[in-house]
Amino acid sequence: IVFMPGSRKSEIKRIFPLFTELSQKLNDSPKVLVLPIHFAKLSKQELYKIYGQEIENFSVSFDAVFHLQSCKFAFICSGTATLQAALLGAPFCLAYTMRKVEFYIVRAFVHLNVVGLANILYQAALGQPVGKGEARLHNEYIQDDLSVQNLLKGYENFNYETYTKESKKLREYLMQGSSERIAQILTQS
């Protein structure tokens, strides 16, 4: 099982403790903590400052592609890693939280039903309003919905068959487009 708690220290500080607690409830598979490639140059002590001693509960890797291609499931902080996981066919859920004041400011100006790039582009593939449609390729646990219990439920109730079929639709859709088309879709939201 892969854990990707983000690339910014503030994200890691908020999300990694939840992932650590969650990992202790998942005794059935090895746990891999995939760190951002730009952390590869950091010393072990510097990594401890970012992640704490809990980093020892995981195998540590910097190779997201390898682990997403071979994992049973992934818990991923929002960002391009969610799109990467969907394109590689890795089953996952998105986990994200920010400071409450930031969340309420963003919520006041941005009115989206989904925030994950894979979900946004999946809605476009289905012809739904981008970011505002109802379809979801994967679960998103944002702000108050982000809890160990919800992540665990998302993992235990994940429908692998449906996800595999629907993620193929996303890949086919993106294969027909270009980077300019994707940029247009994302700026429509």
| DSSP string for residues in 95-138 | EE---HHHHHHHHHH---S---HHHHHHHHHTTPPTTTSS--SS
Is the pLDDT score of 186 beyond 60? no
Quick check: 103 pLDDT over 60?
no
State how far the Cα of 101 lies from the Cα of 86, in Å rounded to an integer: 30
pLDDT at 107 over 90: no
Segment 144-185, tens digit of pLDDT: 899 999 999 999 999 999 999 999 999 888 887 655 666 565
Nearest to 33 by CA among 8, 11, 63: 63
- Where are the alpha helices (H) located in the chain, listed in sequence order? 9-25, 44-51, 64-70, 80-88, 100-109, 117-125, 148-156, 160-175, 179-188
How many CB atoms are located within 10 Å of the residue 24 CB? Answer: 11
Confidence of residue 94 (pLDDT cuts 50, 70, 90): very high
| pLDDT of 105 above 70 | no
pLDDT digits (tens, 9 = 90+) for 113-149: 777 889 999 999 999 988 889 999 999 998 889 999 9
Average of per-residue pLDDT values in the chain? 88
Q: Are 97 and 14 in contact (CB under 8 A)?
A: yes
Q: Measuring CA to CA, how many Å separate 110 from each of 3, 27, 105, 115?
A: 27, 38, 9, 10
Percent of the residues in the chain that have a pLDDT greater than 70, as a whole number = 85
Q: Report the Cα–Cα distance between both ends of the chain, in Å, rounded.
A: 32
